[in-house]
Amino acid sequence: MLVSYVPLKYFVGLKTIILTNKAGLTRDKRRQKIWSRNHKILLSDALGTYSAGTRSSPASVSLYVDNIVDSDPEWFKRLPVFGHGTLAQVLYHEIGHHIHRAIRPVYKGKEDVANDWSGKLWGNFCRKHYWYVYPLLWLLARVFVPLAKWSMRRKTQSQSPR
C-alpha cells in the first residue's frame, strides 16, 4: 500500500523492493558493516538498505522487517497513522536515496537528502490516504486553538496585579 502512493517516475531504475529479515542474510552479510551517519553499523542491525544500480545489476531496496517491527512499542503500532509510521519512514528514506542517486541529484549530505524525500513522500501518503483527518485538523486550527489562546489570555489577565 505504501508503495502505491509514490509517483511512478521515482521508480525508474529501481528494480526490486525486498522485504526480508535477519535470518535471510548469509553469514557474510550478517557480519558486514555499512555506513550510517558517519559511523558503521552491522547490516543485521539496519532497518533498511539501498543498493545503487551498476552495469550488471539494477538498483534495489532491502527492508529488514523484523528490525522495523521491533523498533516500536506494540501500542504505537495500533494507532492508525503511526502504525504505518516506521515502515513508511524506512521505505521512503531508502526510496529517497534512489531518487537522490538516480533521478534528482542534490549536492548536500546523502542522509539529509534522503530524509527530505522521506518527509515529502510521507506527507503525500498522509494527504491521500488519511484525507478525512484534514477537516478535523482545520476545525482544530479554526476553533480550538483560538479558544485556547483566549482562555490563556484571560487567565494571565486575571492573575496580573491591578
Question: Rg of the chain's alpha carbons, rounded to an integer?
Answer: 21
- Is the distance from CB of 121 to CB of 6 less than 8 angstroms? yes
58: its cell numbers: 539494477
- Is the distance from CB of 15 to CB of 54 less than 8 angstroms? no
- Is the distance from CB of 43 to CB of 30 less than 8 angstroms? yes
* Separation between Cα atoms, residue 60 and residue 79, nearest integer Å: 30
With respect to residue 160, please indicate whether it lies within any of the assigned structural domains.
Answer: no
With respect to residue 157, please indicate whether it lies within any of the assigned structural domains.
Answer: no
User: What CATH number is given to the structural domain containing 58?
Assistant: 3.30.2010
Give the highest mean pLDDT range of 30-34, 44-48, 94-98. Answer: 94-98
With respect to residue 60, please indicate whether it lies within any of the assigned structural domains.
Answer: yes
With respect to residue 143, please indicate whether it lies within any of the assigned structural domains.
Answer: no
Burial class (CB in 10 A: 0-12, 13-18, 19+), 31: exposed
- Across the range 139-152, mean pLDDT stands at 71
- Is the distance from CB of 114 to CB of 96 less than 8 angstroms? yes
With respect to residue 45, please indicate whether it lies within any of the assigned structural domains.
Answer: yes
With respect to residue 152, please indicate whether it lies within any of the assigned structural domains.
Answer: no
Number of structural domains in the chain: 1
With respect to residue 136, please indicate whether it lies within any of the assigned structural domains.
Answer: no
Range of the domain at 48: 3-131
With respect to residue 22, please indicate whether it lies within any of the assigned structural domains.
Answer: yes
Give the least confident one: 33-37, 57-61, 147-151: 147-151
pLDDT digits (tens, 9 = 90+) for 101-135: 888 888 888 888 999 999 999 989 988 888 888 78
Report in angstroms the alpha-carbon separations of 33 from 39, 40, 41, 91, 104: 10, 6, 5, 20, 27
